[in-house]
Structure 1
Amino acid sequence: MKKFYYLSTCDTCKRILSELDLPSDFARQDIKTDPITGADLEALRHLAGSYEALFSKRARLYKERGLKNQTLREADYKNLILEHYTFLKRPVTVLGDRIFIGNAAKIVSATKEALHS
């Protein structure tokens, strides 16, 4: 699978999308207009190793709901990501059996290298 999960209203996602110069065979999914499905999330979890790895602790709702003061389990991370798109750390790039999660410079660099090598 070759897929890029992003938020079209996010400037960082837009910048990374243009930096990556994804090949035309890549599927692009705007998680705001086309929410992630349970099956998609399960496939991502399989590649990432956990739902927590896919979870954004920088989301506004994370702070508003006081989730940082709670002990969240894997099922909680899964349900929160499915409940609201902002809980998915983004962007997420899937390239076959490899997954790249987030917008850290080293992740973006590793994604570019994997795409164009």
Structure 2
Amino acid sequence: MLTIVGIKNCSTIKKTLSWLDERETPYTFRDVKKSPLSEEELEDALSKVGIDTLMNKRGMMWRKLGLAGKDITDQELAEILLENQNMIKRPLVLAGDAAMVGFDEDALAGFIEEYA
């Protein structure tokens, strides 16, 4: 079973969920605004995809926090991400021990075929 992690009103999440619905692919959706990832869940996702893949460094929150150009460790970035989960690149797709980030139809289809 897939778990799609993101924010409900995100256009990329809407595209992803619509794509899955069209293919009748079962999934659960987790809105991090209503049900944030625990520290352990976030660490697990980070261990699978890495901080550079998981953290959106081009979004408004990155700029709002003034993080550009600062020398920040991966651990510090993980702590920032835990407190600001809207900075998670979307969608975060989880299936068993695997994870992927972003919506690409071919990549998602391959991921589902291999892990779901």
Q: Please tell me the TM-score bracket, short chain as reference.
A: 0.7 to 0.9
Q: Which runs of 5+ in 1 are unaligned?
A: none
CA contact (8 A) 1:59 1:87 kept: yes
Q: Separation in 2 of the partners of 1:53 and 1:86?
A: 14
CA contact (8 A) 2:6 2:88 kept: no
CA contact (8 A) 1:20 1:112 kept: no
Alignment partner of 1:70 is 2:70: yes
CA contact (8 A) 1:31 1:85 kept: yes
Q: Secondary structure at the match of 2:68?
A: helix
**2:106 aligned residue:** 109
1:25-57 per-residue CA deviation (whole Å, 9 max, x = no partner) reads x33211111111101101111211x22321111
Q: CA deviation at 1:12?
A: 1.7
TM-score, length of structure 2 as denominator length: 0.82
2:25 partner amino acid: P
Alignment of 1:44-83 (within 5 A): 44-48=45-49, 50-83=50-83
Q: Separation in 1 of the partners of 2:96 and 2:67?
A: 33
1:49-84 per-residue CA deviation (whole Å, 9 max, x = no partner) reads x22321111221211222112022111211111111
Q: Separation in 1 of the partners of 2:93 and 2:2?
A: 8
Q: Which runs of 5+ in 2 are unaligned?
A: none
Aligned length, in residue pairs: 112
**1:20 aligned residue:** 20
**Root mean square deviation, CA, Å:** 2.0
Moved more, 15-24 or 75-84: 15-24
Q: Separation in 2 of the partners of 1:72 and 1:86?
A: 19
Between the aligned residues of both structures, percent identity stands at 24
2:12 partner amino acid: T
Q: CA deviation at 1:116?
A: 4.5
Q: Secondary structure at the match of 1:9?
A: coil
TM-score, length of structure 1 as denominator length: 0.82
